Each structure stands twice: as C-alpha cells, then as structure tokens.
Structure 1
C-alpha cells in the first residue's frame, strides 16, 4: 500500500515519536510510506520512510496514495480536501482537550473519515465527545533500544529518580511537573536519592534542589536515562496513551505513574508499577518513598514491567494499522 502521513514536525513530543516509529515499522512490512512535512518543520527522529518537504501543507502538496493518515487536527483539512486517497483520521490525542481552538479541532473528527485511536480510554473520550466510534491501535516500544543497562546505584548505593519535565510555556500544561517537584521536595530530607531531569523543549528549568539536567537527541540517549534510573516517575493528568512509563518498564526500571487514562491499557497497579491519582501529592510522595526504600519491592515491580513490555512492539502496531486499512 502507498500510505502518506502529513505532519507538521517530527520533534520532541510523544506524537512525533509515535509517527516515526509507525512509519518505519510500516516500511519494514514492505509498504510505500511517505511523510509530507513543511520545510520549516523540525526533524529530530530518524526516518526510513520517504520524506517530502513542502512549503506548507496544502491540498496540492499532498501526493496521491491509497491512504492518507493525518494525525493532528491542523493536518486533516489539507488531507481531506486533496481528494488524493482515502483519508483515515489517526488520532494521537483528542486535541480539544488542550488546543486553544477546540471547536475547530472537534470539527476535524466530524468529516466522515474512519478514525483510529490509541487506547481504550482514548476511544471512550472520542465516543463521549463526538459520538463517533474508532478502532484502537496500540503504541509500542523498541526493545532493541529500550532495554536494561547496569544501574549506577548498585555501586554507589544512592538511588536515582528520572523525570521528564515538559515545559508549560510550550503548551504542556497537563504534565504535572509542579506536582512532581512538590512530592520530591517532601522527600529530600527523608531519604537519600539523586534526581535526573530531562527537558525535551530545552526550557529554562530551575530545580529547588540539586539535580542532573539532561536533553536527549536520540532514543538511545533517552533509553540510557531510563535504564540507569532506579525509579521513573510520570505525573500527567491525561494521556491518550503515554509512552514513557512503557519505555521505562522495557528498560527494567520501576515506575510510579498517575492514572492518566490511556496507560490503563498496559499498567497493572502493584504488579508492573505503582498507580496514584493525578495531583495527589500525598499518594505520589508515599509511592516514591516506598519504592526508593523497599529494594525487593522495587526490583519485583521492575522485573514484572520489563517482562510485560516485551509484547508491546511497533511491529504489532504496524500489523494493527495494516489490518484496519485492509478492512476498509
């Protein structure tokens, strides 16, 4: 099949990483995949699919294909109006929850195109907000990259927490970064730990206590940060899927995460993670404390998570997308 993905960018967000992994996995299955992106759109992630740079995304800039899969509300109209292939709406998150122009975003779901969602929670949100059914495809993790590394704490005795701090000024207002800082600030005098913070947007970040600040340009760099940590913490209020906890599990690192929706497809509280309500600083602090101080429990959860993550491959995602498109 010839499949076209019109995108605005391939930069730091989870949506961009989903797109490049899916495009590459479909290439590996033998499909003709082309990503169409504005010439000023940043590209961080490596593609094995064709990349067509255009001045801007317009109907005339979309190439002909069997299927065109817009994945963000601003890419839907050019795809739909091009009339150059069957449009299937790949929703990586219900945009009216966070974009300023929520009504315009909602209308892009009502054009009559089939919809793919990325978790059961996400499917329910789409059904509740638009009245439309969608077909769930799962995200994945590349276990050839996201795998365990030796943990420095085994030599130093000091546990390390890893956190990805998204920038509210860049629009990431639902990631719960302030909640995380409140929780670890409570714990800094109770238990000895080191903190590593990754800042994908290169935002200015001032920590209230010493920490190691990192930026990651590749999956390999990100995987090493997950794997060297003893604990990964995730504090989102809502996510259509939520890749980071699954990637941390694949790296053999214990996870504390908020119950933010889409992750329910793969998290099992007390088995492969500790799950806490969003914005509950008390329960978040307690969960972090417990896994920092109870080595056997932390190692059990990490081992279960690592085993569980092995089934969540991008090849499986590509299989699901392929099967759905063929069914149309």
Structure 2
C-alpha cells in the first residue's frame, strides 16, 4: 500500500518521534510510506526511512494566510500522490485527512487528547471536533479520550527500541538514586515532582538525577532544601537510556491525561528501573507504584514504599515490569498497527 502521513513540521515532540519510527517500520513491512511536510528540505530530528515530500511553505506577514496556504498545499500534494491510506496524528492534520477523496482509507492515530492543550475555547473546540470526524481512530490508550467520543478500532501504544533501552545492572546501594525527565511545560509536572522530593527527601540519603530541563527556580528550591542533585543534558536516545540506567527509581508523573502512554514511563521500565507513574504502561499493570492520578501525598507514600522495599520486593517489581514492556518492541507494535490498516 501507499501510505501518506501529513505533518505540520519536524520537531522534537513525542508524536513526531513516534511517527518517524512508525513510518520506518511500516516501510519494512512492505509499504511505500511518504511523509508530507511544509518545509525547506530540513532533515527530521528523528530519522526515518520513509520518503519525505516537502510542500511549498508560505512565508508572509499574515499567519492565517500562511496556515491556510500550507494546509492546502499539503492536502493537494497528498491528493495528487494517489495514496491508499492517510494517517493523521494531530487535530489540525485530521481536517486535511477528512477532506481527501472517499476512496482513501483515513486514519487518526490519537496520541493525546489535544483538547486539554488548547489555549482558548476556539482551539479547544477545533481539537474536539476532530474526534467526531469520519476517521478510523487508533488510540495509544483505551482511556485517552472521554467516554462520549471514545470510539476506536484499535489500541496501539508507541514502541520502544529495545536495542537502546535495555535493563540496568541492579546493584544494591545505600544511596538511593531517583531520576526524572524535566520538562518546561507546567502540565508535565516537573515542578510538582521537585516540590515533593524537597519536602520528602530532606535528611534522606538520596541523589536526584534530572534530565533535559531544570529551571533556575527549581535548582534554587533543591539547593535550599539540601537535596543533592545532578542535571544531564540529553541529545539523543542513547544518552537518554544511559540516564535512565543511572537510577534505581524513576518518577514519570504528569498533571494531565492519566493512563495515556508515556515515553519516560515506558523507557524507564525498559531500562530496568522501578517506576512511579500515572501513565501507561505502568497503569495497565498490577504495580504497587502506579498512581490513578498525580497526588503529592500519594507520591510521598510511594516513595516511602520504595525506601522500605527489600531487594526481593524490588526484583519482583522489576520482573513484572519486564514482562509488560517486552510487548512494546517496535517490531510487535508496528505489526499490530499494520493489522488495523486492513480493517476497512
């Protein structure tokens, strides 16, 4: 089959990361995969073996005109390519897909409930209406959409590169190492996690490792409470995997979309870390460390459970995590996604 994937641009967002790899995996399965993007030939941050087709990107003083022009060029390029399948993964590209000819199989790979990220009522409504469009929805979690619109043909989480994200050596140590992937966006909850660690971690023999982002105000907060911490800049997946393996426990919590697939949660599990999270894959397990939603008090309780855990308890948890995460290899995930593309 000829498969088209429209993107608004190449960046470092998790959704683009998933689509770049998924496009490569679908190519391996024998499809001709094309990524359509308005741009100037810029190479994607996440490499892909799919064919990249750059449409003409308008640059004028009018942002609205640029937006409409770029969308139309994307739509026209996909239409002219005469593809069999088109996969949207963002609410704005979902409209492009919906307007294509009916002979095209139209899919919407929902990786986030984008209504919660809207800046105002108009942007929220634009996102919400896409879940009502006549597109076959594939979701990365059974609960990612609210019940009234939670209709889908299949559940396919993102995949993990098991050659990069593999287990750490679980060596017991008196110093407890706790990691988190910091993010600038408030809804990611980095500040909330650090506040809990500052309150809970005083006078405890812990080291906090933080990757990607750490604000100056959070640095000051950690310093003020006497928490030993280290910050790690991350440039690629290999560095990220090495970061996870520095830690015995990783906190992968956030303030929105409880139960959705979450890369730090999955990657930390793959790297042999204990994980506290309100996200999948952990929330689909019987883990003692899963959260229904972010709650500072309950997070402290989970941290106490970790501190008090025996080696037997930890090894049992890690064994269960390994069983779960083994089903998240890209080979398995891409074949599952491919199976839904044949459901007409």
1:220 counterpart = 2:238: yes
Q: How many residues align?
A: 313
- Residues 183 and 250 (structure 1 numbering): CA distance in 2 closer, same or farther, change over 3 Å? same
Helix, strand or coil at the partner of 1:183? helix
The higher relative CO (CA closer than 8 Å, separation ≥ 6) is in 1
Match of 1:247 among 267, 274, 277: 267
Does the CA contact (< 8 Å) of 1:9 and 1:42 recur in 2? no
Structure 1 residue 206 corresponds to structure 2 residue 223? no
Give 1:183 deviation, angstroms. 1.4
Task: Give the structure 1 partner of residue 163 of structure 2.
Answer: 144
The yes-or-no answer on 1:280 pairing with 2:300 is no
> 1:255·1:302 contact (CA, 8 Å) conserved in 2?
no
Structure 1 position 211, deviation (Å) = 2.3
After superposition, give the CA deviation of every residue in 1:251-277 in whole Å (9 maximum; x if it has no partner).
11111112x4x546643222xxx0134
Change (3 A) 1:57 1:315: farther
Where does residue 188 of structure 2 map in the other structure? 175
Q: Please give the alpha-carbon distance, in whole angstroms, between the structure 2 residues aligned to 1:93 and 1:176.
A: 16
Q: Tell whether the 8 Å contact from 1:248 to 1:255 is kept in structure 2 after alignment.
A: yes
1:79-94 paired onto structure 2 within 5 Å: 79-83=97-101, 85-94=104-113
The secondary structure found in structure 1 opposite 2:98 is helix
Of residues 266, 278, 286 in structure 2, which corresponds to 1:268?
A: 286
Gaps of 5+ in 2: 58-69, 223-227
Relative distance call for 1:95 and 1:115 in structure 2 (3 A) is same
Determine if contact 2:98/2:134 at 8 Å carries over to the other structure. no
Match of residue 130 from structure 2: 108
Over the aligned positions, Cα root-mean-square deviation in angstroms equals: 2.5
1:289 aligns with 2:304: yes
Q: 1:41-87 CA deviation, whole Å, 9 max, x = no partner?
A: 78321112122222234312324311010100111222333438322
Bigger Rg, structure 1 or 2: 2
Instruction: Please list the CA deviations of residues 196-253 of structure 1 after superposition, one character each: whole Å capped at 9, or x if unmatched.
Output: 11226x8666322242222322221111111221111011232532222121111111
Instruction: Tell me whether 38-47 or 207-216 shows the greater mean CA deviation.
Output: 38-47
**Contact 2:287/2:317 (<8 A) preserved:** no
1:25 — aligned with what? 25
Whether contact under 8 Å (2:194, 2:218) holds in the other structure is no
Q: Report how far residue 131 of structure 1 moved.
A: 6.3
| Structure 2 counterpart SS, 1:120 | coil
Contact 1:3/1:67 (8 A) holds in 2: yes
Structure-1 separation of matches of 2:233 and 2:282: 28
Match for residue 235 of structure 1?
Answer: 253
Distance in 2 (CA, whole Å) between partners of 1:91 and 1:46 is 21
1:130–1:38 Cα change, 3 Å: same
The question of whether the paired residues in 2 share the 8 Å contact of 1:198 and 1:213 is answered with yes
In 2: Cα distance, 1:164 partner to 1:134 partner:
32
Compared CA separation, residues 134 and 222, structure 1 to 2 (3 A) = same
Taking structure 2 as the reference length, the TM-score comes to 0.82
Residues 18, 204 of structure 1: CA spacing in aligned structure 2 closer, same or farther, 3 A cutoff? farther
